[in-house]
Amino acid sequence: ANAEEIRTNAAQDKKDARANAEEIRANAAQEKKDARANAEEIRANAAKAEANAAKLAAKAEENAHLKEAALESELAASLIKLANFEVVYKTRLLLELALAIKYPPSKSPDLKSATARWEKFFKEHVVDAKDDLCPRAKMIMEAIGCDERGTVTKDNMRTIYNRLSIKVHTKQPDVAAGFCCGGDVSMSGFANAIALKMLQDDADVIEGSLLNRDLHYLNTEFKHTHTFMPDGSITRLSDKLVTQL
């Protein structure tokens, strides 16, 4: 009887052990399933958070671009009004504003500085595939009587934005009110004039209206010798000769 009881108890213990093992396996499987579900939820939440962060960053960048564009528009409008009353000899500033019209931050976010914008414009519009000055640039050189070698002017134009330091804008030429460009070697006169004329004639810049007006070209003695016209031509004042580009 005792042996039978022992066997019965042993069988029950074995059964209970199997039941406990099944329960443990079931609990482990459930915990694993719950862990996977939690991990999925965490990943999903992380993805949502990342997407929201990207949206916020894009919105912040868009607002920054709008603010920058508004400030540039206000500055351009102020310069245009000022040019009705006095000389505006701010070639670097005019170049920067014209380049911002050509390559607005909202459409060219990779171009984060005026230097980068000018580098792109230079490669696309100033030089040809052989890295020589394009025909239009050469025509402007000839029209304003540029006596530099083409390679010198090209090299000066390549880095024109960095060459025009703030100090060179302290000079006030004795000429009529309006936008001026050119000047002597300290201003990289030929180079800045050609750059501004090419931007004046660019279709995208024309839409911005900043340079849709006469630009006074100053020779190396800071005399107003030519006028860059918004119709794509250059007028030599001495004999009224018009060069149509």
Q: Quote the pTM value.
A: 0.74
Write the CB contacts of 245 (distance below 8 Å, at least 6 apart in sequence).
136, 139, 140, 143, 201, 232, 233, 234
Q: In a 3-state reduction of DSSP, which class is residue 131? A: coil
pLDDT at position 95 is: 94
Length of the chain: 245
Q: In a 3-state reduction of DSSP, which class is residue 171? A: coil
- In angstroms, the CA 36 to CA 31 distance is 9
CA torsion sign, 71 to 77 to 82 to 87? positive
**228 closest CA partner among 61, 205, 237:** 237
What's the angle, vertex CA 230, arms to CA 108 and CA 66, rounded to 5?
Answer: 30
Q: Using the 8-state DSSP alphabet, how is residue 135 labeled?
A: H
- In angstroms, the CA 75 to CA 139 distance is 31
Encode the chain (245 residues) as per-residue pLDDT tens digits: 788 888 888 778 788 888 888 888 888 888 888 888 888 888 888 888 887 777 777 676 666 666 777 778 888 899 999 999 999 999 999 999 999 999 998 888 899 888 999 999 999 999 999 999 999 999 999 999 998 888 899 999 999 987 876 655 566 788 999 999 999 888 889 999 999 999 999 999 999 889 999 999 999 999 999 999 999 999 999 999 999 98
Query: By the 8 A CB rule, do 91 and 196 touch?
Result: yes
- The amino acid occupying position 81 is K
Residue spans of alpha helices (H) in 84-125: 91-102, 114-121
